[in-house]
Structure 1
Amino acid sequence: MLELEYNNDEYADTMTMAMNMANRTVNGVPVEAILKPIEMNEELVQRIAHRKVKVPEIAIVEPDPQWLDHFETFRSRILAAFEPPKNEDDPQEGADNASRVTILSVNHVGSTSVPNLPAKAVIDIDLVLSSNTLSSETFYVPRLEAAGFQFLLREPEWHGHRFLVASEPMSCNLHVFGPQCAEVERHRIFRDWLQQHDDDRELYARTKRDAAAISREKGEPVMGYTVRKDEVIRRIMTRAFTELGYLSG
């Protein structure tokens, strides 16, 4: 997934390039929030459970057309899990419906969403809900668990992120966010840019392969692999933001 960070000097330089963005939004998200990522703090991550299935090896494989089919399988499961109760006259189901959390979008993101891009064989999905807060978890978590996802992490300070995983028909990372989330917009922008720009797609593929090889050699967890891609991701995102008019050239 996209982890885009700036140090203080880089952020200051980036924000001085912004062009009259104070009141501009994209899908309800302020452009300024899209340009300024929230830094993740691992100390604030709340672990809910440990994986039942071993985390996939850090290996970059050739693109597989079936990845799109597998995304649709996961998407169908998620949508089915949130279907309204069949018997609206049942008092219990009526109470359940009164506190219903609704799906705003189910987005295929990450490298497997980009045709012709080598990737780790893991489907990444951004699930955007009308509410993903602690009080809403009693509604959506059991439904997602019944659909085959395991709830692993809660990150309230990082866009309220909830992280779940599944393993059939292939490995899947499910990222649950609330409405108007800047991180969701960044994921979409990065995906769309790579789909449309062969040169940056090829650059990112080389970067991923090199980062994965080093991480395997050092026996690192996935975070080391992710950090090694940060600089290239930052450069690609800067090009995307500039073309979109969020930054001046």
Structure 2
Amino acid sequence: MSVVVEPYNPAWPSYFSKIKSTIQSYLSGIPILSIEHIGSTSVPHLAAKPIIDIDIIVTRENIQPAVDALVQKGKFTYLGELGIADRHALQDPDQVPKRNVYVCVEGAFQVRNHLGVRDTLKQNAELRDEYGALKLQLAEQGTNIVDYIEAKSGVVMKILKAAGLLSGEELEEIEMANKKGERFGATKTERLLLREFVLADVEGYFELESSDEVVRYQTFGPRTREEARDDVSMIVMNSSAVPRSHVELAVEHEGRFIGRVGAVVKRESGRGEKVDAPHADLWFSFIPEYQGKGFATEAVRAFVSLLGGPLELEIECDPRNTGSWKLAKRLGFERISLTEKVYQCKGEWVDSLVYRKWV
């Protein structure tokens, strides 16, 4: 999924004003210091991703009341800090126009970051044009969001230094946050694209996991749209963890979300002791019309390569799920065990078939 950057749209400030008014109605009775339009859409004449970024600034003691009000009254989804202290992300169910909403602690360096970039670019046309040209160039090259954030970090740091609102230590922290960390850029195979999940994947995920056929051998039933939203939100939150224990990527074919591949990586024994090599439990699921065409094998092979090693990989499945164990065999996994009646799934006892491989 490539980043989309558009020339400045004069309607963006009015979009913000309408969203702000709605947010204020949800936060009635809660002391709010300000609601700020931040990000590139807040800067006249600056090219930007067409997403309205909003900071709701409150004192520390009002963070939780503000979050609770948005969740309860506005049906927002709370996403946590996503690796950035004192900036609490929420997803507004209304995404027309698209928006990012944050509840932020007054004076936090991330707030000073956002306001410093905005105000500096409003006053410095040279920096504004340099930043806009880079964003358009990266979008034209088809850059994915993870690489996009890292690629523009140099100019962002120049803007922040010009703003003069952050300490050297805070600048270093922002520079580190803009690096990939343990997130992956887009990975192309012969037919597929593997990439990090974004919140816009909710509908694709829902189409996938609401299928009876897809969840047939899972302990859970078909996902509702709300459950799909919660699942994708959790995947996005997990992607910012370091070290990363839950790794899950979306799979696209010709621009369409067709499946997912993932792993839980365990770096400690059951007694909390570090192990010589981590253990990874793998899973995958694909929309039925894309099953039986080698897409899962192609995706899992690429995913395993991304995980690196040394690593003990495991695929555990219901032996009736022939697609899973046949894929394991195709990728060189060794059958380890078949245990009868290990757990209950949809009212019946299910056997457990385990395949493993070292990489």
TM exceeds 0.5?
yes
CA distance in 2, matches of 1:147, 1:116: 35
Mapped contact 1:159–1:177 kept (Cα < 8 A): no
Mapped contact 1:70–1:169 kept (Cα < 8 A): no
Match runs of 1:37-56 below 5 Å: none
1:236 aligned onto 2:159: yes
1:184 aligned onto 2:117: no
Decide which of 19, 23, 28 is 1:78's aligned counterpart: 23
Q: Which blocks of at least 5 consecutive residues in structure 1 are unaligned?
A: 1-55, 85-100
Seen in structure 2, the aligned counterparts of structure 1 residues 64 and 245 have a Cα distance that, compared at 3 Å, is closer
Decide which of 147, 157, 161 is 1:224's aligned counterpart: 147
SS at match of 2:56: strand
Residue 146 of structure 1, CA deviation: 5.4
SS at match of 1:64: coil
Mapped contact 1:111–1:117 kept (Cα < 8 A): yes
Decide which of 64, 85, 89 is 2:9's aligned counterpart: 64
Aligned to 1:175: 102
Mapped contact 1:110–1:123 kept (Cα < 8 A): yes
Match runs of 1:191-230 below 5 Å: 191-214=118-141, 216=142, 220=144, 222-230=145-153
Match runs of 1:139-178 below 5 Å: 139-145=65-71, 148=74, 150-155=76-81, 158-166=84-92, 167-178=94-105
Runs of 4+ in 1 over 4 A off after TM superposition: 146-149, 244-247
CA distance in 1, matches of 2:67, 2:166: 38
For residue 113 of structure 1, what is the amino acid of its counterpart? S
Bigger fraction of residues in helix: 1
Q: Which blocks of at least 5 consecutive residues in structure 2 are unaligned?
A: 169-359
Decide which of 120, 124, 135 is 2:53's aligned counterpart: 124
Residue 77 of structure 1, CA deviation: 1.0
Residue 143 of structure 1, CA deviation: 2.5
CA distance in 1, matches of 2:52, 2:77: 16
Seen in structure 2, the aligned counterparts of structure 1 residues 149 and 234 have a Cα distance that, compared at 3 Å, is farther
Residue 236 of structure 1, CA deviation: 2.2
Bigger fraction of residues in strand: 2
Seen in structure 2, the aligned counterparts of structure 1 residues 223 and 78 have a Cα distance that, compared at 3 Å, is same
Residue 111 of structure 1, CA deviation: 0.3
Which piece of structure 1 moves more, 65-74 or 141-150? Answer: 141-150
SS at match of 2:117: helix
Residue 150 of structure 1, CA deviation: 2.9
Mapped contact 1:77–1:147 kept (Cα < 8 A): no
Seen in structure 2, the aligned counterparts of structure 1 residues 169 and 228 have a Cα distance that, compared at 3 Å, is same
SS at match of 2:60: coil
For residue 21 of structure 2, what is the amino acid of its counterpart? S
For residue 208 of structure 1, what is the amino acid of its counterpart? K
Between the two proteins, what is the percent identity of the paired residues? Answer: 28
Decide which of 98, 113, 135 is 2:42's aligned counterpart: 113
Instruction: Provide the aligned length of Structure 1 versus Structure 2.
Output: 167
CA distance in 1, matches of 2:116, 2:80: 24
Mapped contact 2:86–2:108 kept (Cα < 8 A): no
Larger radius of gyration: 2
Seen in structure 2, the aligned counterparts of structure 1 residues 146 and 169 have a Cα distance that, compared at 3 Å, is farther
1:33-57 alpha-carbon deviations (Å, 9 max, x no partner): xxxxxxxxxxxxxxxxxxxxxxx96
Mapped contact 1:78–1:147 kept (Cα < 8 A): no
SS at match of 2:85: coil
TM-score (structure 2 length as normaliser): 0.42
TM-score (structure 1 length as normaliser): 0.59
CA root-mean-square deviation: 2.7
Mapped contact 1:149–1:164 kept (Cα < 8 A): no
CA distance in 2, matches of 1:69, 1:109: 13
Seen in structure 2, the aligned counterparts of structure 1 residues 103 and 197 have a Cα distance that, compared at 3 Å, is same
Residue 199 of structure 1, CA deviation: 0.8
Residue 233 of structure 1, CA deviation: 1.0
